[in-house]
Amino acid sequence: MKSFGTTPESKLRLTKTQEKMRLKLIEMFGEKVSETFTEWELEQLIFANKDRGFDALVERFVRVTVMKKEIDYENLLENELPGEREFSKLNPCFIHGVDKYGHPILWEKLCDTDVDTIRNKCDWDDFLLYRHRIMKKIRNAKIEISAASQKKITLHTMVIDLEGITLSQAKQFMTDPKLNSLVTFGKLYPQTIYETIFVNVNFWIRGFYNSMPKSEATSNKHLLGSDFHSFLRDRIDEKWIPQEFGGKLAKKCDFGKVTLPNFSKKIGKTEIKPTVANQIGEEENEECETEFTGEEIYKMQSKCALLKMRFEGETSYFTMDNIYALEEYMDKMLVLDQCPIL
């Protein structure tokens, strides 16, 4: 397997429009930005927003900020999660090795996931916390690898085993409200995956997938049958392919654990600062040229603050309908200065 020196993400640059949006976000929320996001995490948020505009970026920023506060993201790995060992058996996955670019790899045995127990017998909030902890572990792995290799590592690779899963089971996973929330879960961690490789995929699932229109969102997804080993070896050194995925490791991996190359350097959170001129990419459009007045910024801050309030009976995360309802309510409020600022 050939090893490449330059990671794909190192070539990404904010356009001038995106840079203006970044600076306006910092102007609007101040220290909240650097308290919640590293510099590269903020860039990922902006890249994921694409051409949806500044308001959409603010909504996404607030949603992720509220989520991180609710789960105490900064201290998420300080203590053991009760039942985590059991969750790792019900939903077997582990972080093991790196691909040819140095991206850490999240391996998941979705085929061995006990969907019925997770859906009907487990505390769903605790299970989501287990998944958040996995994302925090792989985020920390990227920081460690970046520091040791002196490369920009902000993405990870996923390899998911679907052996034995039928087309009807896959459709059920996509339509069940609870299980489908795991699909939308990824929106809370935007632009973090380099590619997703599904292996041992049922013939009918592959046929169904191939019949669907392709988009930029599906360009980094690969659905493979049982003959997937050469595909993996083209991307991942043999020594990092686990037994569970046809590799030749002497022992099986421990679910829930993290195994990386022996790096010694570690770094912490990166301070957010303005991007220098020669780091800004080519101009794509003239969006976001209008300057916001202080009153407009204040109103948007107040709207965002309202997103933190929960309606009775609602879940921890807001749907777009809730956001629109809150904005409509905000527009009817007479006294803005009674709204808590985010």
What are 76-112's pLDDT values in tens digits?
A: 999 888 888 899 889 998 899 999 999 999 999 988 9
What is the band of 212 on the pLDDT scale with cuts at 50, 70, 90? confident
| Assigned fold of 84-259 | Phosphatidylinositol Transfer Protein Sec14p (3.40.525)
What are 283-339's pLDDT values in tens digits?
A: 344 444 445 555 555 555 555 555 544 433 444 444 444 444 555 545 444 334 444
**Domain residue extents for the chain:** 84-259, 292-342
Buried-state track 247-262, b at ≥16 Cβ within 10 A, e below 16: bebeeebebbebbbee
pLDDT at 52 over 90: no
pLDDT at 127 over 80: yes
pLDDT at 213 over 70: yes
